[in-house]
């Protein structure tokens, strides 16, 4: 790679990050002021602007994560940290700056950003020079060649403990999951016992549960970083069959812990830590999607408990699950909105196959039918129908005082699900990128390997930088969550990483050419699996508008003068 002074270039990158962040702060304040004295009531009037601002913030967070990564790599590896760690980071920053200008230009009239102010930042000589140095084709070619030579898009900076965890689960992924993944996908099979039993033996289901209840999480809280590392490695083998079985118990256990009702924690958590019962989440409904507050499934009081009536959809693993976390409306008054929802734990037998019906002794019937899907095969996502399904009173999550608190407990569960989904995205990304890198070095066209062409090398550089950025920002948010913070950032990184995975798997497939479109290559599976990531655990539009942008705008402060 060409000689640069890494410390100077990284300092310039940090300065650009600060300049653009200041612009974002000004825009957020302008939008907040434009909405009047009660901005929270008018946020839907500025959805297009809010969506762009959410992505601006996500891209800035990714930039900051990459700059931190490069500085840490230099501190760890010295001058060797330039190849390719610093190159990846600087390339990523330059590429992101170029994209950000387009976002700002698109909405500048709606956010009070004048042309002179925009130009003062994006036409500044320092910025233009930086982008010329690190975004030029020749530079991208250099970074791509360094990746080809090293065989990886930057070295991991995880500590020794987490590196050992990653290595252990990588062996399981390569030895057990990968050989089964294609058959599960092509034949739409249920996850085999070889994988589920292996996940139990490795303690995967115990990661979200404190030691006092038979898990491995510290008493002070969740070990999110370990969960992220494990999920990423498993998802590299199969998104549905290995990376995703951990998500449902993670959500359920977080909701149960947030409810704080000791008898329920003592009853359920030790068994879940051992992988029994298998868990499912029944929150989404056919007419509500990501609008959790609009849930309609009714829970009506009856002797000794509640009767559930209505439908749920996209209940992943709903057939095999033996314990369902069900969100239902206990207050039928429409004015109660999200405050009229409660969470329940419903026990049921495990069923294989694509359909089931479970009749209770009291006459209640729960039936389910698997939804045919483009990808994400192995767990089967079900539509469920509840007809007077009985749930005992003691299965109201949070205990007798928790009626009406279901929405908040669900959100507590989903925060963990979102950071874990970002980790799942990173795993799929790494799998697709690794396949593309191998194919590019092995496949020759017009007399030489694909990896010797400038365009292929540029793609490998930009895609490799994206993989590393998503990994680093996911690790950063996991660390925040381990400190009891980072709830909004969990949605932010899920928003960014899942969309990035779609783009990356598309390009990985493209590098494979016609073979990429064939099911003979795993990259076709990565491509269709990636599409679901921006939909479940909070659709990207919902996260952008209702979580990220809402938080940014309502908490916008007056810019410093």
Residue 176 DSSP SS3: helix
Identify whether 479 is part of a domain.
no
Please check the confidence at residue 80 and state whether its pLDDT lies above 80.
no
Per-residue pLDDT tens digits for 102-153 = 999 999 999 999 999 999 999 999 999 999 999 999 999 999 999 999 998 9
Domain boundary among 77, 103, 135: 135
Q: Mean pLDDT, to the nearest integer, of 544-559? A: 91
Burial readout 504-526 (b: 16 or more C-beta within 10 A, e: otherwise): bbbbbbebbeeebeeeebbbbbb
pTM: 0.92
pLDDT of residue 30: 95
Which contacts qualify for 482-487: CB closer than 8 Å, 24 or more apart? 482/221, 482/222, 482/223, 482/224, 482/225, 484/221, 486/419, 487/415
Per-residue pLDDT tens digits for 185-216 = 999 999 999 999 999 999 999 988 889 999 98
Residue 89's domain comprises 6-135
Identify whether 164 is part of a domain.
no
Per-residue pLDDT tens digits for 153-182 = 999 999 999 999 999 999 999 999 999 999
- C-alpha of 270 from chain center: 27
pLDDT of residue 141: 96
pLDDT of residue 1: 56
d(CA 177, CA 174) in angstroms, rounded, equals 6
pLDDT of residue 2: 61
Please check the confidence at residue 326 and state whether its pLDDT lies above 90.
yes
172 closest CA partner among 196, 207, 206, 153: 196
Report CA-CA distances (Å) from 356 to 99, 368, 372, 376, 387.
48, 5, 15, 20, 14
**Which residues, 6+ apart, have CB-to-CB distance to 118 below 8 Å?**
23, 101, 104, 105, 108
Please check the confidence at residue 368 and state whether its pLDDT lies above 90.
yes
Give how many domains the chain has, as a whole number. Answer: 2
Per-residue pLDDT tens digits for 17-45 = 999 999 999 999 999 999 999 999 999 99
Sign (positive or negative) of CA dihedral 33, 38, 39, 43 = negative
Identify whether 26 is part of a domain.
yes
Domain boundary among 135, 169, 196: 135
Please check the confidence at residue 289 and state whether its pLDDT lies above 70.
no
Please check the confidence at residue 382 and state whether its pLDDT lies above 70.
yes
Radius of gyration of the chain (CA): 24
Identify whether 126 is part of a domain.
yes
d(CA 303, CA 297) in angstroms, rounded, equals 19
What stretch of H or E contains 346? strand 341-347
pLDDT of residue 3: 66
pLDDT of residue 378: 85
Indicate the pLDDT class of residue 560, thresholds 50, 70 and 90: low
- DSSP conformation class of 78: G
Please check the confidence at residue 435 and state whether its pLDDT lies above 70.
yes
**CATH classification at residue 71:** 1.20.140
Q: Mean pLDDT, to the nearest integer, of 42-66? A: 96
Identify whether 341 is part of a domain.
yes
Percent of the chain with pLDDT over 70: 98
Identify whether 374 is part of a domain.
yes
Please check the confidence at residue 73 and state whether its pLDDT lies above 70.
yes
Identify whether 233 is part of a domain.
no
d(CA 298, CA 306) in angstroms, rounded, equals 9
Which contacts qualify for 36-39: CB closer than 8 Å, 24 or more apart? 39/553, 39/554
Q: How far apart are the first and last CA of the chain?
A: 42
Provide the phi-psi class of 388: left if phi over 0, else alpha when psi is between -120 and 50, else beta: left
pLDDT of residue 290: 63
Domain boundary among 348, 373, 407: 407
Identify whether 193 is part of a domain.
no
Name the residues annotated as catalytic.
537
**CATH classification at residue 392:** 2.40.110.10
What average pLDDT is seen over the chain?
92
């Amino acid at each position: 790679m060409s000689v640069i002074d890494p410390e100077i270039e990284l300092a310039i990158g940090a300065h650009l990050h600060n300049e653009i962040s200041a612009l974002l702060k000004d825009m957020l304040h302008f939008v907040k002021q434009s909405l009047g004295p009660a901005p929270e009531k008018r946020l839907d009037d500025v959805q297009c602007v809010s969506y762009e601002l959410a992505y601006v913030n996500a891209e800035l967070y990714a930039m900051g994560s990459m700059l931190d990564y490069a500085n840490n790599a230099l501190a760890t590896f010295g001058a060797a940290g330039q190849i390719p760690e610093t190159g990846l980071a600087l390339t990523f920053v330059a590429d992101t700056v170029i994209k950000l200008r387009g976002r700002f230009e698109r909405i500048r009239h709606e956010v009070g950003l004048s042309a002179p102010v925009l130009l003062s930042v994006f036409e500044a000589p320092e910025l233009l020079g930086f982008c010329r140095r690190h975004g030029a084709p020749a530079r991208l070619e250099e970074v791509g060649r360094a990746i080809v030579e090293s065989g990886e898009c930057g070295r991991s900076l995880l500590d020794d403990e987490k590196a050992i965890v990653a290595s252990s689960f990588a062996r399981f992924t390569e030895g057990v999951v990968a050989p089964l993944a294609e058959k599960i996908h092509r034949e739409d099979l249920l996850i085999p016992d070889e994988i589920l039993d292996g996940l139990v033996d490795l303690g995967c289901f115990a990661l979200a549960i404190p030691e006092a209840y038979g898990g491995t999480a510290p008493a002070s809280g969740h070990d999110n970083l370990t969960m992220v590392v494990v999920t990423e490695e498993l998802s590299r083998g199969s998104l549905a069959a290995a990376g995703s079985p951990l998500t449902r118990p993670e959500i359920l256990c977080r909701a149960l812990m947030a409810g704080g009702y000791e008898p329920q924690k003592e009853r359920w958590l030790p068994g879940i830590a051992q992988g029994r019962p298998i868990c499912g989440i029944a929150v989404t409904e056919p007419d509500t999607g990501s609008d959790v507050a609009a849930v309609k499934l009714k829970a009506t009081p009856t002797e000794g408990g509640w009767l559930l009536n209505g439908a749920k959809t996209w209940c992943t693993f709903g057939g095999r699950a033996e314990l369902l976390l069900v969100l239902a409306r206990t207050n039928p008054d429409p004015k109660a909105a999200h405050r009229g929802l409660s969470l329940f734990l419903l026990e049921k037998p495990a069923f294989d196959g694509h359909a089931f019906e479970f009749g209770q002794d009291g006459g209640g019937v729960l039936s389910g039918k698997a939804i045919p899907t483009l990808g994400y095969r192995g767990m089967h996502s079900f539509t469920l129908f509840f007809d007077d399904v009985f749930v005992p009173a003691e299965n109201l999550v949070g205990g007798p005082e928790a009626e009406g608190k279901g929405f908040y407990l669900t959100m507590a569960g989903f925060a963990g699900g979102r950071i874990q989904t970002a980790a799942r995205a990173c795993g799929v990304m790494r799998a697709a990128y690794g396949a593309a890198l191998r194919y590019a070095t092995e496949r020759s066209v017009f007399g030489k390997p694909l990896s010797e062409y400038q365009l292929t090398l540029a793609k490998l550089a930009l895609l490799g930088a994206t993989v590393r950025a998503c990994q680093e920002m996911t690790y950063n948010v996991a660390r925040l969550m381990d400190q009891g913070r980072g709830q909004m950032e969990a949605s932010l990184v899920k928003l960014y990483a899942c969309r990035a995975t779609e783009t990356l798997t598309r390009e990985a497939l493209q590098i494979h050419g016609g073979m990429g479109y064939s099911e003979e290559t795993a990259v076709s599976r990565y491509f269709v699996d990636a599409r679901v990531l921006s939909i479940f655990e909070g659709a990207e539009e919902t996260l952008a508008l209702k979580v990220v942008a809402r938080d940014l705008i309502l908490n916008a402060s007056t810019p410093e003068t």
